[in-house]
Amino acid sequence: PQPVYLKDYQPPAFRITHTELKFDLAPSNTRVTALLHLERHPDSQPGLPLILDGEKLSLQRIAIDGQELQEGEYRLDAETLTIEDAPDRLRLETEVEIDPAANTALEGLYLSNGMFCTQCEAQGFRRITYYLDRPDVMATFSTTVIGDREQLPVLLSNGNPVERGELPNGKHFATWEDPHPKPSYLFAVVAGSLEKVEDHFTTMSGREVLLQIWVEPENLDKTEHAMRSLKAAMVWDEQTYGREYDLDLFMIVAVNDFNMGAMENKGLNIFNSAAVLTHPQTATDAAYQRVEGVVGHEYFHNWSGNRVTCRDWFQLSLKEGFTVFRDQSFSADMNSAPVKRIEDVSYLRTAQFAEDAGPTAHPVRPDHYIEISNFYTLTIYEKGSEIVRMLRNLLGWDTFRQGSDLYFARFDGQAVTIEDFVGCMAEVSGLDLTQFMLWYSQAGTPEIDAHGEYDYAKAEYHLTLRQRTPATPGQPNKQPLHIPVRIGLVGTKSGEDLALTLNGSQGKQSLSEGGVLHLREAEQTFVLSDVAEAPVPSLLRGFSAPVKLRFPYGREDLSFLLQHDVDGFNRWDAGQRLAMLALDDLIAAHRNGVEKVMDVRLTEAFRGLLTAPEEDQAVLAEMLTLPSEAYIAEQQPVVDVDAIHAARVFVKQSLAVALRDEFLAIYQANQSDAVYAPSAEQIAQRSLKNVALSYLMSIEDERGVELAQQQFEAGHNMTDVRAALTLLVHSSRSDIAEPALRAFGEKWAHDPLVMDQWFSIQVTRPQPDALDRVKYLMAHPAFSLKNPNRVRALIGAFVNQNRINFHRLDGEGYELLADVVIKLNKLNPEIAARIITPLTRWRRFDEQRQALMKAQLERIRAEDLSPNVFEIVEKALA
Ligand code: DPP
Ligand code: ZN
């Protein structure tokens, strides 16, 4: 397979002004008729042939302006249909046959539980019909769907329904028209035996919009939260970004088999059922919050993605980075904002930083790819969002909003680039963002070494920041970036923030506006004057840039910040840094075989947290949570899986022993019989209670076991049940684990999304039988390699969240993953290329593990590989 390069971009030779489609649905032989209204693109070179994309299509008929083409008048290969002498204006008619039932890749048109559905982003549409399948070709669509009246009573597509009727042979049809020109990746068709819930929304200009959520009948009682989230998102986008919905109908469909979380097809969003269905008995608080976030995300795409779309797929972060930033802000406004920030940063710092430090590291705007579906990455999404957030930090909200308004107004209906977006931000602010653009082209996580000195005599604080970005594949040398570093100085006497006066080349300047320093050089010293007392610096507040920042904090400094920092994020981060210092010592002790000794300062800091009144209970729950094994691993030069696990368990148990009564008190204070609601307040209570229980269970305290069992049996809601079941199953006692597991499995055998949780809980247990369980559960009737949610719940959970067992020294964990990748490579290449990730990180481990992991990558490489897996394996072994 050959790479595609950003520098080779050419406008299309033709454009399509209108697309008329007809689907005659049948599981193994669906007929798709397409009538494309084509004309030569004014910017293209004259005389270029018309080359349409098409894969896995069986062409039945082709005609231009009503004239059938004969063999020789067009050329077919596995991926294209070429017409050499196409007129400047033409109507091209094609009829193809496709096989949705055989489509296990879940791209294009496929069957899920008897229901037809589509996934066209990025390049699935070419598996439906011959087309100019690229985002800069935008057309209005008119789509007729024909299907069996009994089997497929519901026939949906984008836009507005315009006609429906009966046909012979037990069939019926529906015709849909989408008046908004759109690229093919936003096309969708759904047909099946579905039922709907409806609601209404009145937009800010007073238009009525009908809202529908379509699900399988047994899931009708699981749509309330998604509908509430949708309405909240519609209001939020009007109030926050001035964006109004633009059709009379907005539909969401829940699908069981889906590669991604959801898809923003115009007017017809298709969702992975896991990202839309909730019920207090089946979904955890985390699932409720995910649904809110994803519903918001897909809805927000209507402007950031659909109305203004990407010129080419290298610009993917133009829509994804901006839309993730929008959904993160929405969730922050709906829930605890500091907790949302903590969660997003934790995810970024573990998963995205690891990606940026590994063999698949790529810029937020890549300059080449082999398989675009490999680039729906944490870098494009999460780091892309951080870049937009930095723009917000640099411009301030009001100016940022002006830039956003300008972007939507200027480029409405167009397919544009990242320069167009950043250009609007530069234009409204007057800022020179040339250096800032490097964030899009340079891969790797920048590292900042900070050093501070307080000069008593001059009452000055000198902060020196040194930045460097490590080399990444294909980019050995990096330039300094423009980095917004938000800071505070906390007075050691007063415990309060000191006023910030920056002493620069233009004289003294008050930094009251959020205290953002603009770091632009490789090394820069900032002089803060009129600093009345010795301060502890609070650096990178709110995580103002996606960097690793080192500062030689002592444990006293960190304890101090944990108590006094007014920045909620940095208070939490001070606690994490303090825990990391203790963990580092214990990891060293474990490796050297010396006795482990708990750091009393960490215990005392926790005691302080547990006993002092805390306003934000949700933040408290986060502060009581130790850094994850994955995060700790990120901080190690060579990952020592066993030492990390042992050190973390030791800290947790030591805290539990020392603070048992305090944890018990927290548990009891947060018990509640209130009717379940996914409210910020209740979620905070539940997480605090369950964190406390996890400490008690870490020492298998008798009272803790009793509480966990009671909580499991009470069955109050899935958050509490799952937390309790996890603790029982992850304990060393099979007498408490097995009965609970069995009861849960029997109770929920009919609900695949709950069974996914049952799978994950078992395969993440730290006990040595975890790998055997994975193998055993792969044969369970509720498991299927063809369903991406099952694969993620069983295999994904094991390889990503059960580090000690996946990295077993006999290599069996690696072999199991390779076996799965080899099978998925044939069934579903997109999922295969994702699930393989942990093997690609082999360079981070000891030599023995490196050899074992590499051997499995080589075994995979010897297979007949899809472009997806090929690209990743080649990079991993390069
Ligand atoms: N564009 C989708 C999303 O991120 C993914 N296909 O919403
Ligand atoms: Zn998206």
Query: What CATH number does domain 309-441 carry, 1.10.390.10, 2.40.37.10, 3.40.50.10860, 3.40.50.300?
Result: 1.10.390.10
Q: How many CB atoms lie within 10 A of CB 706?
A: 12
ipTM value, please give it: 0.98
Q: Where are the domains of the chain?
A: 1-100+120-182, 309-441, 447-480+482-552, 603-877
Question: Do 603-877 and 1-100+120-182 fall under one CATH topology?
Answer: no
Query: 603-877 — its CATH code?
Result: 1.25.50.10
Quote the DSSP letter at residue 475. B
The reported pLDDT for the residue numbered 46 is 84
Choice from 259, 295, 301, 375 to test ligand 1 binding pocket (greatest atom count within 8 A of CB) = 301
Task: Return the percentage of the chain with pLDDT > 70, whole number.
Answer: 100
Sequence-ordered strand ranges (E) for 376-442: 415-416
User: Is the CB of residue 372 less than 8 Å from the CB of residue 495?
Assistant: no
Token pair in block for residue 457: 């005599």
The reported pLDDT for the residue numbered 118 is 99
Instruction: Band the pLDDT of 220: cuts 50, 70, 90.
Output: very high
SS3 642: helix
The reported pLDDT for the residue numbered 513 is 65
DSSP H/E element including 14: strand 14-24
Instruction: Band the pLDDT of 587: cuts 50, 70, 90.
Output: very high
Q: How far is the CA of 628 from the centre of ligand 2 (A)?
A: 27
Q: Is the previous residue joined to 122 through a cis bond, with omega within 30 degrees of 0?
A: yes
Q: pLDDT digits over 426-465, tens only?
A: 999 999 999 999 999 999 999 999 999 999 999 999 999 9
Atom from ligand 1 closest to the CA of residue 122: 6
Is the pLDDT reported for residue 613 higher than 90?
A: no
Instruction: Band the pLDDT of 269: cuts 50, 70, 90.
Output: very high
Token pair in block for residue 326: 């929008």
Q: How many CB atoms lie within 10 A of CB 97?
A: 15
Is the pLDDT reported for residue 615 higher than 90?
A: no
Q: How far is the CA of 810 from the centre of ligand 2 (A)?
A: 40
Fold of 447-480+482-552: Immunoglobulin-like (2.60.40)
Closest alpha carbon to 172 in 160, 161, 181, 180 = 161
Instruction: Band the pLDDT of 782: cuts 50, 70, 90.
Output: very high
Residue closest by Cα to atom 6 of ligand 1? 263
The reported pLDDT for the residue numbered 44 is 84
Residue closest by Cα to atom 3 of ligand 1? 263
Closest alpha carbon to 449 in 602, 532, 553, 372 = 553
Q: How far is the CA of 385 from the centre of ligand 1 (A)?
A: 14
SS3 84: coil
Q: pLDDT digits over 696-745, tens only?
A: 999 999 999 999 999 999 999 999 999 999 999 999 999 999 999 999 99
Choice from 185, 187, 264 to test ligand 1 binding pocket (greatest atom count within 8 A of CB) = 264
**Which residue among 292, 298, 382, 830 is the active-site one?**
298
Is the pLDDT reported for residue 512 higher than 80?
A: no
Query: 1-100+120-182 — its CATH code?
Result: 2.60.40.1730
Distance CA 447, CA 549 (A): 6
The whole-number average pLDDT for the span 621-647 is 97
Which residues are near ligand 1 (CB < 6 Å)? 121, 260, 262-264, 297-298, 301, 320
Mean confidence (pLDDT) of the chain: 97
User: Is the CB of residue 486 less than 8 Å from the CB of residue 514?
Assistant: yes
Is the pLDDT reported for residue 423 higher than 90?
A: yes
Instruction: Band the pLDDT of 316: cuts 50, 70, 90.
Output: very high
The reported pLDDT for the residue numbered 293 is 98
Q: How far is the CA of 262 from the centre of ligand 1 (A)?
A: 6
User: Is the CB of residue 13 less than 8 Å from the CB of residue 44?
Assistant: yes
The whole-number average pLDDT for the span 191-207 is 98
The reported pLDDT for the residue numbered 489 is 97
Distance CA 680, CA 676 (A): 12
The whole-number average pLDDT for the span 69-77 is 96
Rounded to whole angstroms, the maximal C-alpha distance in the chain is: 94
Q: Classify residue 414 as exposed, middle or buried by CB count within 10 Å of its CB (0-12, 13-18, 19+).
A: middle
Residue closest by Cα to atom 1 of ligand 1? 263
The DSSP bridge partners found for residue 524 are 465
Atom from ligand 1 closest to the CA of residue 294: 7
Residue 298 bears catalytic tag: yes
Atom from ligand 1 closest to the CA of residue 119: 6
Is the pLDDT reported for residue 521 higher than 80?
A: yes
Q: How far is the CA of 319 from the centre of ligand 2 (A)?
A: 7
The whole-number average pLDDT for the span 761-774 is 98
Is the pLDDT reported for residue 831 higher than 90?
A: yes
Q: How many CB atoms lie within 10 A of CB 5?
A: 12
The reported pLDDT for the residue numbered 510 is 85
Which CA distances in Å does 546 have to 383, 388, 426, 842? 7, 11, 21, 24
User: Is the CB of residue 379 less than 8 Å from the CB of residue 355?
Assistant: yes
Choice from 294, 320, 372, 830 to test ligand 1 binding pocket (greatest atom count within 8 A of CB) = 320
